[in-house]
């Protein structure tokens, strides 16, 4: 059964001149997410999906930095090679899928809208989904 509660999420798109470069930069974004009590929900084809709120913070304490803090850290490291769209809302999370394939992740009402806004976001920018 899915749970519901407030989550913050981000879609991070990485640019690079080679697959190896994109992969390495995706790793940078995932590392920063982990260091800031966020979950990397997916790494696929230059996209890094990050969320916070689906799992308790490390050590059972509330996160000390706002979610946008980690997004700014990603931008400061990857600069013009990343574009980020993010949002936060009441969403559903937990085990998604079935016995053929499942993942612990989330369903956010504005995620589809965020995906559609990503293509119009310039690299080197962070935008909140509207």
122 φ/ψ angles, rounded to the nearest 5 degrees: -70, 150
Q: Is the pLDDT of residue 24 over 60?
A: yes
Q: What confidence category does residue 117 fall into, taking pLDDT thresholds of 50, 70 and 90?
A: very high
- Residue 54's pLDDT is 85
The full 3-state SS of 49-106, as one line of letters, equals EEEECCCCCHHHCCCCCCHHHHHHHHHHHHHHHEEEEEEEEEEEEEEEEECCEEEEEE
The predicted-structure confidence for 54-92, as pLDDT tens digits, reads as follows: 876 554 445 557 899 999 999 999 999 999 999 999 999
What's this model's pTM, rounded to 2 decimal places?
0.90
Residue extents of the structural domains in the chain: 3-128
The CATH code for residues 3-128 is 3.30.70.1230
């Amino acid at each position: 059964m899915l749970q519901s509660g407030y989550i913050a999420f981000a879609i991070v798109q990485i640019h690079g001149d080679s697959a190896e470069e994109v992969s390495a930069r995706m790793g940078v974004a995932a590392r920063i997410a982990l260091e800031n009590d966020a979950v990397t929900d997916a790494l696929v084809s230059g996209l890094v999906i990050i969320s916070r709120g689906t799992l308790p913070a490390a050590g059972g304490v509330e996160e000390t930095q706002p979610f946008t803090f980690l997004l700014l850290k990603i931008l400061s490291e990857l600069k013009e090679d990343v574009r980020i769209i993010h949002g936060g809302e009441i969403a559903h999370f937990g085990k998604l899928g079935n016995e053929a394939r499942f993942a612990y992740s989330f369903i956010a009402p504005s995620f589809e809208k965020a995906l559609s806004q990503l293509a119009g976001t310039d690299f080197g920018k962070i935008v909140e989904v509207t």
